[in-house]
């Protein structure tokens, strides 16, 4: 399975704010609300100062969900572990331009493995760094916080890069935003051209997940 075609706005709840002791149940709750994707935050304690999950956990989760697994590899060597994540059942791998040795080769590799390929840039990383490879991707992820931890404050200056990214990739590549996304910031990033919204604390940090997802959807309108 690959990402939905660009254009339709999708919410991708981020498990970073979920209860890690009940991940399968947490994902089932948002799946019941009609989302198509779930954002899997993979951190290695090296590229970012935090450690989360890896292929063994994702493989177990795959048995409990039919959602698109949008895996965000915040790790130093994405090339080394690509096959392991594909074997675990992810549908998309997002790698960081800051650490990819040969981005184009990695994109080709992921496509040959049958999944979507996405590139990500941190708040301080210029859009120019992805200019050549982003049109080859299925999605570009613009970080609107510094990666590593959830519930951070939205960085609007970083979000403005979505405008330039959209100009580069055109209408047929998804543009995703991650960090501080909620019912207040959603209209901002959608206005800039984003169509994929990663929301962690705004969904899993709330007791009523249905109301939280509904609030984001209504803010888009």
Would 1 be classed as within a structural domain?
A: no
Q: Among 142, 130, 153, which residue's Cα sits nearest to residue 194? A: 142
23-70 residue pLDDT tens: 999 999 999 999 999 999 999 999 998 999 999 999 999 999 999 999
89-139 residue pLDDT tens: 999 999 999 999 999 999 999 999 999 999 999 999 999 999 999 999 999
Q: pLDDT band for position 151 (50/70/90)?
A: low
Would 73 be classed as within a structural domain?
A: yes
Confidence (pTM): 0.95
Would 79 be classed as within a structural domain?
A: yes
199-209 residue pLDDT tens: 999 999 999 99
Would 5 be classed as within a structural domain?
A: no
Determine contact, residues 21/59, Cβ cutoff 8 Å. Answer: no
Would 3 be classed as within a structural domain?
A: no
Tell me the CATH number at 15. Answer: 3.20.20.70
Would 140 be classed as within a structural domain?
A: yes
Q: What residues pair up with 11 in beta bridges, in sequence order?
A: 197
Q: Check if 178 is active-site.
A: yes
When divided into structural domains, the chain yields a total of: 1
Q: Among 61, 55, 64, 58, which residue's Cα sits nearest to residue 83? A: 55
Active-site annotation holder among 70, 91, 138, 178: 178
Active-site annotation holder among 41, 70, 91, 195: 41
Would 2 be classed as within a structural domain?
A: no
- 78 has a pLDDT exceeding 70: yes
Would 117 be classed as within a structural domain?
A: yes
Q: Which range marks the domain in which residue 14 is found?
A: 10-220
């Amino acid at each position: 399975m690959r990402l939905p075609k660009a254009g339709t706005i999708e919410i991708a709840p981020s498990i970073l704010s979920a209860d890690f002791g009940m991940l399968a149940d947490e994902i089932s709750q948002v799946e019941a609300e009609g989302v198509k994707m779930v954002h899997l935050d993979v951190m290695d304690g090296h590229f970012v100062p935090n450690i989360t999950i890896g292929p063994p956990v994702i493989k177990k989760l795959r048995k409990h969900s039919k959602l698109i697994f949008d895996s965000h590899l915040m790790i130093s060597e994405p090339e080394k572990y690509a096959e392991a994540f594909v074997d675990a059942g992810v549908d998309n791998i997002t790698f960081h331009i800051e650490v990819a040795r040969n981005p184009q080769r990695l994109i080709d590799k992921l496509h040959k493995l049958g999944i979507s390929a996405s590139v990500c840039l941190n708040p301080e990383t210029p859009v120019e760094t992805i200019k050549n490879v982003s049109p080859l991707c299925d999605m570009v992820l613009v970080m609107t916080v510094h990666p590593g931890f959830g519930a951070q404050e939205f960085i609007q200056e970083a979000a403005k890069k979505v405008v330039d990214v959209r100009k580069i990739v055109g209408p047929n590549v998804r543009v995703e935003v991650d960090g501080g996304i909620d019912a207040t910031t959603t209209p901002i990033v959608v206005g800039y051209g984003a169509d994929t919204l990663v929301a962690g604390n705004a969904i899993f940090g709330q007791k009523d997940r249905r109301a939280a997802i509904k609030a984001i959807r209504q803010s888009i309108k």
